[in-house]
Amino acid sequence: MMGSTNGLAGAQGTQPLFSFGVISDVQYADIPDGRSFLGVPRYYRHSIVVLQRAVKRWNDQKRHNFVINFGDIVDGFCPKDQSLDAVRRVVDKFEDFNGPVYHMIGNHCLYNLPRTKLLPLLKIPSVDGRAYYDFSPTPEFRFVVLDGYDISAIGWPQEHPNTIEALKFLEERNPNTDKNSPAGLVGLERRFLMFNGAVGKEQLEWLDDILKEATKLKHKVVICCHLPLDPGSSAKEALLWNYDEVMSVVHQYNCVKVCLAGHDHKGGHSVDSHGIHHRVLEAALECPPGTDAYGYIDVYDDKLELTGTDRMKSTDMLYNPQADLQDNWH
């Protein structure tokens, strides 16, 4: 598909309104390569090299207004006495980009550092340790960054109401001693694992307010969250606990065009019943040496066009709800 374009102009010869770089799940650690619990190889030291190449490419292209990192900046296996240095090291690589970088938190970030330390390092605007925010790169567009670990058993102090609520939630829904095990859980219940989390009530109300305002201002909205929000785009084990509640807020409005996520390392793409695209980005962590997974997104009036590098697949996301809703993932 991208063969028909020169990289700057879309197939119709129109310039994008703006573009931005994307990368997810760097999960760097200065430790030997390993495997996921499913046996998928993980390249902990190489992932920061992928990031360096991404930043160089984005800078060389000289046309990206900003970069979004979809979370999990360092890996949970990073030795805890190295956590702070590892996070700083990766943040410094992002800072080499000539423009703003927007971060969000993932479970691996929270295994390493508490929110109080993490959010300032990632320059996430925060009230009371919360990590959701929005920004408008142009008058027509609004980006909403959700905090998928708002209600979570990781990242908050043990006695924090959000931790207590999360543990109670898991206790009721996951009978396993190991709350990261989906054994015996069926279908969509398999998301009730400790490495996932939920969007809390206040954040849902905030999201509703943002979408109301965006509708009034005729903004098109892109939602970004570390955790995927649609079962069609992701393994069931990777979904936000209350993705259904979030999407029922989103589906009350017509302003949200695309939801972007990380967390499920193999990536995915779906179009939901309301014509919203869900694109889960492939992980930098799973790139064998010499391979890459990053990309950039060109934003047009009627679509987002992801141009992926190597293991990150390119995807056209037309957001005309009447458009043919077939899967454009290639």
Please report which helix (H) or strand (E) contains residue 209, including its range.
helix 201-216
Chain length of the chain: 330
Give the pair of three-digit tokens for residue 319.
């957001």
* Cβ neighbours for 62, distance < 8 A, ≥ 6 positions apart: none
pLDDT over 70 percentage in the chain: 93
Residue closest to 228 by CA, chosen among 201, 268, 192, 193: 268
Tell me what pLDDT residue 98 has: 98
Phi, psi dihedral angles at 296 (to 5 degrees): -145, 155
* Cβ neighbours for 94, distance < 8 A, ≥ 6 positions apart: 51, 55, 67, 69, 101, 103
Query: Which residue reads 């000539």 in tokens?
Result: 98
Residue 69: strand pairing partners = 23, 103
Please report which helix (H) or strand (E) contains residue 222, including its range.
strand 220-225
Distance of CA 154 to the CA centre of its chain: 18
Tell me what pLDDT residue 322 has: 45
Q: Return the number of other C-beta atoms located less than 10 Å from residue 128's C-beta.
A: 6
End-to-end CA distance of the chain, in Å? Answer: 8
Fold (CATH) for 18-318: Purple Acid Phosphatase; chain A, domain 2 (3.60.21)
Residue 153 · residue 111 · CB < 8 Å? no
Tell me what pLDDT residue 225 has: 98
Tell me what pLDDT residue 99 has: 98
* Cβ neighbours for 270, distance < 8 A, ≥ 6 positions apart: 230, 231, 232, 233, 277, 278, 327
Burial of 159 (0-12, 13-18, 19+ CB in 10 A): exposed
Residue 135, SS3? strand
Give the pLDDT confidence of 102-112 residue by residue, as tens digits: 999 999 999 99
Residue 130 · residue 150 · CB < 8 Å? yes
Tell me what pLDDT residue 316 has: 97
- Written as tens digits, the pLDDT of the chain (330 aa) is 333 344 444 455 689 999 999 999 999 999 999 999 889 999 999 999 999 999 999 999 999 999 999 999 999 999 999 999 999 999 999 999 999 999 999 999 999 999 999 999 999 999 899 999 999 999 999 999 999 999 999 999 999 999 999 999 999 999 999 999 999 999 999 999 999 999 999 999 999 999 999 999 999 999 999 999 999 999 999 999 999 999 999 999 999 999 999 999 999 999 999 999 999 999 999 999 999 999 999 999 999 999 999 999 999 999 865 433 444 444
Q: What is the pTM of this model?
A: 0.93
Tell me what pLDDT residue 13 has: 63
Residue 269: strand pairing partners = 279
Say which amino acid occupies 329. W
* Cβ neighbours for 194, distance < 8 A, ≥ 6 positions apart: 153, 154, 170, 179, 180
Boundaries of every domain in the chain: 18-318
Helices within 42-142 (DSSP H only): 46-61, 83-95, 107-112, 115-121
